[in-house]
């Protein structure tokens, strides 16, 4: 176990959705209607001629959100911390807009070109006063043999820049060098290839030299990643606390059908 003293209210399961508010997908295409009510992040089997898109709501104080492609509804009443499933969409150039749930009030929008067999995330983040959308290209193929791919995106508006440690099972924080340094708000690391294994994600303020008494800003659960898998780890604000806090949600971008841990 790492030799640090994590704050108890920050000990959160990085694979648990933080808000279990219902997110309902609209049936733009017949196949999408089969998805029903899902707040997971699993990929779906689709024609190689189609793209896939999912939505992540990372804004800590925005109201419920409806997401549109032009006049077509993609999702209704998304809540903070929600990661939707992928849904298929024809390749092309689209404008995605975010509206306050049940209204025509557009809060943000972004334009992107989606290619055949591509996977994309519409990430809605920042505070409600300056809401923004990012269109991210997700990894849709296996990481190199014997490795995993992790991408870190900082959407936490209330904490300073962080150093990210990936601590192998049985090792200590003081024995590991940071995987990412100075991860500040809106930073996207891109996918980093790492040996397959069981790890704990720990984050400390940038520049911290870990000691046996270091207090971590965030400590995740120990997770075993399967060979070839790809994940997006998103830092978001912690709600309902008197001081700023940090929590993490993890989206499943890719899992090899023949993967073993």
Domains with residue ranges and CATH for the chain: 8-15+141-254 (2.60.40.1120), 24-138 (2.60.40.1120)
Q: Are 107 and 70 in contact (CB under 8 A)?
A: no
Within 8 A by CB and 6+ apart from 240, the residues are none
Residues 66, 62, 74: CA angle, nearest 5 degrees: 15
Per-residue tens of pLDDT for the chain, all 261 residues: 444 444 433 333 333 334 333 344 443 333 333 333 333 334 444 566 899 999 999 999 999 999 999 889 999 999 999 999 999 999 999 999 999 999 999 999 999 999 999 999 999 999 999 999 999 999 999 999 999 999 999 999 999 999 999 999 999 999 999 999 999 999 999 999 999 999 999 999 999 999 999 999 999 999 999 999 999 999 999 876 667 789 999 999 999 886 554
Indicate the pTM of the whole model. Answer: 0.81
What is the dihedral angle through the alpha carbons of 163, 151, 242, 79, rounded to the nearest 10 degrees? 170
The whole-angstrom separation of Cα 50 and Cα 40 is 20
């Amino acid at each position: 176990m790492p030799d640090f003293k994590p704050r108890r209210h920050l000990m959160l399961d990085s694979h648990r959705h933080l808000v279990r508010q219902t997110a309902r997908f609209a049936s733009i295409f017949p196949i999408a209607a089969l998805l029903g009510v899902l707040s997971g992040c699993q990929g779906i089997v689709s024609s190689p001629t189609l793209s896939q898109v999912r939505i992540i709501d990372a804004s800590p104080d925005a109201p419920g959100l409806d997401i549109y492609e032009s006049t077509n509804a993609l999702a209704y009443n998304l809540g903070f911390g929600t990661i939707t499933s992928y849904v298929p969409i024809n390749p092309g150039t689209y404008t995605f807009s975010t509206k306050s749930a049940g209204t025509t009030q557009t809060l943000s929008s972004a334009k992107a070109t989606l290619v055949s067999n591509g996977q994309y995330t519409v990430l809605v983040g920042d505070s409600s006063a300056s809401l923004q959308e990012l269109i991210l290209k997700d990894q849709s193929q296996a990481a190199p043999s014997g490795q995993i791919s992790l991408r870190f995106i900082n959407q936490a508006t209330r904490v300073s820049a962080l150093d990210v440690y990936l601590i192998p099972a049985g090792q200590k924080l003081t024995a590991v060098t940071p995987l990412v340094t100075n991860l500040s708000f809106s930073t996207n690391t891109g996918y980093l290839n790492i040996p397959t294994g069981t790890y704990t994600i720990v984050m400390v303020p940038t520049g911290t030299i870990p000691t046996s008494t270091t207090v971590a800003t965030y400590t995740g659960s120990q997770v075993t990643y399967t060979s070839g898998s790809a994940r997006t780890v998103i830092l978001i604000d912690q709600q309902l606390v008197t001081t700023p806090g940090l929590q993490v949600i993890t989206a499943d971008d890719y899992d090899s059908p023949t993967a073993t841990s």
